[in-house]
């Protein structure tokens, strides 16, 4: 775990998941007497995967467990503790990647207009919503965003994302204007001395939490009459999908989202395609029924 935390800079959430998977693997191996990495075979790993499936774990959880065990043996290979990786030939379970939820342009507008900008907390929420949709920030990136990272002159924000990687993301003029107003009129009420480094503050003057942001956004979504659960990530998905639909290329979108692998970004091409199919089925005269070819 020290290797993952210090050398690989994995998040606490990831470390908890890996730790849980590896403890489960060790407990499962215990009756066999194979307690050292060098003793573990490919069949052991395959049988463990089958055990997890039989226990009712979903494909995504089984795949994560395989990744956890695989990371362990990659480390063991690097340190010379084993000569062969027993996970190398064990296939990951296949699962259908769910398409992310995306708001329409009209729904985004309704959500952005929902906060009461005459109220300090409402003004803060309006600035947060505009920034997430303008720049595609993750909620953790939003709540940890320091004041010094915002360059209002050139319209960029410096974001520290997953793996402690930094990226520069453009900010729309509307979002910048709201952030300036929030800093000038609302934030100063909760941190008059300017001691707190984060941009967005709670009612008590401390940094916002992920849970608090989620609750505030869900409340505004209800007031806007939007169906289902609207989370910060739904706004991030909407940012990415709307950019693609308006001509952005995948590589630029990958850089703005902070994805390490472009395959993660490609999910938005499927979302865009699905939305086009729904539009066709709804509005084309022959979209609702099948007909024979002439």
Digit-coded pLDDT (tens) for 139-180:
999 999 999 998 888 889 999 888 788 999 999 999 999 999
Q: What is the C-alpha to C-alpha distance for residues 119 and 122, in angstroms, rounded to an integer? A: 5
pLDDT digits (tens, 9 = 90+) for 259-293: 988 888 888 887 767 666 665 566 566 555 444 44
CB 105 within 8 A of CB 119: no
Quote the pLDDT of residue 276: 62
220 is catalytic: no
Which of the following is catalytic: 10, 24, 64, 236?
236
> Does 125 lie in the same domain as 222?
yes
Q: Reply yes or no on whether the pLDDT at 247 is more than 80.
A: yes
> Does 130 lie in the same domain as 186?
yes
pLDDT digits (tens, 9 = 90+) for 35-85: 888 999 999 999 998 898 888 888 778 888 888 899 889 889 998 999 889
Position 90 in a domain: no
Determine the structural domain holding residue 145 and report its residue range.
105-232
236 is catalytic: yes
> Does 118 lie in the same domain as 52?
no
3-state DSSP assignment of residue 9: coil
Position 142 in a domain: yes
CB 145 within 8 A of CB 185: no
Position 134 in a domain: yes
Q: What is the C-alpha to C-alpha distance for residues 291 and 192, in angstroms, rounded to an integer? A: 68
> Does 67 lie in the same domain as 109?
no
138 is catalytic: yes
280 is catalytic: no
160 is catalytic: no
Domain holding 196: CATH number?
A: 1.10.443.10
Q: For the whole model, what pTM was predicted?
A: 0.67
Which of the following is catalytic: 138, 216, 220, 242?
138
* Average predicted confidence (pLDDT) for the chain: 86
Sequence-separated (6 or more) residues with CB below 8 Å from residue 17? 64, 68
> Does 113 lie in the same domain as 40?
no
Residue 146 per-residue DSSP state: B
- Domain termination residue (choose one: 211, 232, 253): 232
204 is catalytic: no
Position 94 in a domain: no
> Does 122 lie in the same domain as 13?
no
Which of the following is catalytic: 117, 160, 223, 233?
233
Domain holding 40: CATH number?
A: 1.10.150.130
Q: Count of domains in the chain?
A: 2
Quote the pLDDT of residue 289: 46
């Amino acid at each position: 775990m020290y290797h993952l935390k210090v050398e690989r800079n994995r998040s606490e959430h990831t470390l908890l998941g890996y730790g849980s998977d590896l403890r489960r693997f060790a407990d499962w191996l215990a009756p066999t007497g194979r307690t050292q990495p060098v003793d573990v075979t490919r069949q052991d790993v395959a049988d463990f995967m089958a055990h997890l499936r039989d226990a009712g774990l979903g494909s995504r959880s089984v795949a994560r467990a395989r990744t956890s065990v695989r990371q362990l043996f990659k480390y063991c290979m690097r340190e010379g503790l084993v000569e062969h990786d027993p996970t190398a030939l064990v296939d990951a379970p296949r699962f259908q990647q769910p398409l992310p939820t995306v708001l329409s342009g009209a729904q985004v507008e309704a959500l952005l207009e929902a906060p009461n900008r005459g109220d300090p907390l409402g003004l803060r929420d309006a600035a947060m919503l505009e920034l997430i949709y303008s720049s595609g920030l993750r909620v953790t990136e939003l709540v940890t965003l320091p004041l010094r990272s915002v360059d209002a002159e050139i319209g960029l924000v410096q974001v520290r994302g997953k793996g402690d990687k930094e990226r520069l993301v453009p900010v729309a003029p509307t979002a910048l204007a709201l952030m300036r107003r929030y800093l000038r009129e609302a934030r100063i009420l909760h941190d008059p001395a300017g001691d707190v480094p984060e941009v967005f503050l709670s009612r008590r003057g401390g940094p916002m939490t992920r849970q608090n942001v989620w609750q505030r956004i869900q409340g505004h979504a209800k007031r806007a009459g939007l169906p289902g659960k609207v989370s910060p990530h739904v706004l991030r998905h909407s940012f990415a999908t709307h950019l693609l639909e308006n001509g952005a290329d995948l590589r630029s979108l990958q850089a703005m989202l902070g994805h390490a692998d472009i395959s993660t970004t490609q999910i938005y091409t499927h979302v865009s395609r699905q939305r086009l199919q729904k539009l066709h089925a709804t509005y084309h005269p022959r979209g609702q029924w099948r007909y024979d070819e002439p």
